[in-house]
Amino acid sequence: MASYQPQKSDKFAFGLWTIMNTGRDPFGEATRERIDPLDVITELGKRGVWGIEMHAEDLIPPTATAAERDRLIKEANKRMADQGMACVNCGANVFAHPVYKDGALTSHDPKVRQLALQRYLNSIDVGVALGSKLCDLWWGRDGAEVDAAKEPLEAIKWLREGLNYLQSYIDKQGYTGYRLAIEPKPNEPRGDIYMPTVGHALGLIATLNKPENCGLVVEIAHSRMAGLNTYHDVAQAIEVGKLFGCHFNAQKPLRYDQDQRFGSEDLKESFFVVKLVEDTGWQGARSFDAHAFRSSDREEVWDFVSGCMRTYLILKEKVQKFNKDPEIQAILKELRSGAGEPLPPHDQLKKIAFDADQLARRRLHHERLDQLTQELLLGVR
Ligand code: GLO
Ligand code: MG
């Protein structure tokens, strides 16, 4: 029986902000006490977590002096080194301060747009100092409720201008290998957020000055909030080499941003996402952007941390079982026979006498395959 003990080689990561969350919500106050970000690093490291994600402001208050900033960076690096950890993403908090209420990169006010860019530049500098290679842009305030007030055409141009501006900074500083990513989300905290899905974000990336340097962080909850299939979203990002990060969590479709512990909703979809990243050999961190339930106290947060990783490891084991299961594999072999066949030239194809009725009689085995998948997940196979 596997122990499901997380190893550093599993590359599990958590956002500092997820552990720092005190359980406040729009309707009620905190349920757990604050925790220092440096202690979050150490406590995660002790539990087998390999990486952290963060906003620069999670660690360094915007009001910090230069000396304080240097001290915090030095101490964070020490805590990570002590625990054999790495920083996999350092973004910017351009959503908490009221100045961003009507947008950061897409505010009408040029000073607000510049302030947002200044925060992003700072996050890249901090990320470099912490050994990170990614700035994940989650622009939750860049959106609208009142469509009369903001032109989407203009907003899209500002987003492009902002991304190009950050890229030229990376180039100018010589931050080789440092990359940008868009983390799409359909809504919350705005009624609508610009670039709501993977497809929208890929469309914008293709228009950047250096599209090869900008990718995606796909989050399970965000795809499900848009009513989409996360497995398909992650696959599309992988297929074009754009999956720069992945946020594992859980969410009931089409609702407020729930960010629940990994696996707490739709185990089957979670299974297929794990199968996808494992089978394709995707090398990124398995990052949990999930939050302990708002009812949990500080101690239970560590149960939540271990639980997310344990569920991932159990699903990974199920993936191995699925890939080795003789009946499942025999069905897949039959189903997929001919999948790799290339298309004939147009004139040749026109001459083929297809028997549509015979083709329609090909058995697809979906009933059995789905049953076997369910039984495997339910532990009776
Ligand atoms: C919010 C997002 C957010 C991002 C984070 C990345 O819904 O998921 O937590 O992942 O800002 O830096
Ligand atoms: Mg996220």
CA of 183 to the centre of ligand 2 (A): 7
Residue 18: φ, ψ to 5°:
-70, -40
Name the pLDDT band for 1 (thresholds 50, 70, 90): low
| Tens-digit pLDDT profile for residues 344-372 | 999 999 999 999 999 999 999 999 999 99
| Tens-digit pLDDT profile for residues 77-124 | 999 999 999 999 999 999 999 999 999 999 999 999 999 999 999 999
How far from the centroid of its chain's Cα atoms is residue 77's Cα? Answer: 23
- Checking if the pLDDT of 318 tops 70, the result is yes
- 353 exposure class (CB count in 10 Å sphere: 0-12, 13-18, 19+): exposed
What average pLDDT does the chain have? Answer: 97
Name the pLDDT band for 3 (thresholds 50, 70, 90): confident
Q: What angle do CA 255, 260, 263 make, to 5 degrees?
A: 110
Quote the pLDDT of residue 166.
99
Residues whose Cβ atom is located within 5 A of ion ligand 2: 219, 247, 289
For the chain, the domains span 8-319, 325-377
| Between residues 2 and 185, the one the model is more confident about | 185
- Checking if the pLDDT of 235 tops 60, the result is yes
| Tens-digit pLDDT profile for residues 166-211 | 999 999 999 999 999 999 999 999 999 999 999 999 999 999 999 9
Instruction: Please state the pTM of the whole predicted model.
Output: 0.97
- 326 exposure class (CB count in 10 Å sphere: 0-12, 13-18, 19+): exposed
Residue 75: φ, ψ to 5°:
-70, -40
Which candidate in 10, 55, 109, 289 is catalytic?
55
Other C-beta atoms lying within 10 Å of the C-beta of residue 171? 14
**Which residue's alpha carbon is at the smallest distance from atom 8 of ligand 1?**
289
Q: What angle do CA 345, 350, 353 make, to 5 degrees?
A: 120
CA distance 80 to 76: 6
Quote the pLDDT of residue 2.
73
**Which residue's alpha carbon is at the smallest distance from atom 5 of ligand 1?**
138
Which candidate in 58, 102, 142, 259 is catalytic?
58
Query: What's the CATH fold of domain 8-319?
Result: TIM Barrel (3.20.20)
H or E stretch including 181? strand 179-182
| Tens-digit pLDDT profile for residues 20-76 | 999 999 999 999 999 999 999 999 999 999 999 999 999 999 999 999 999 999 999
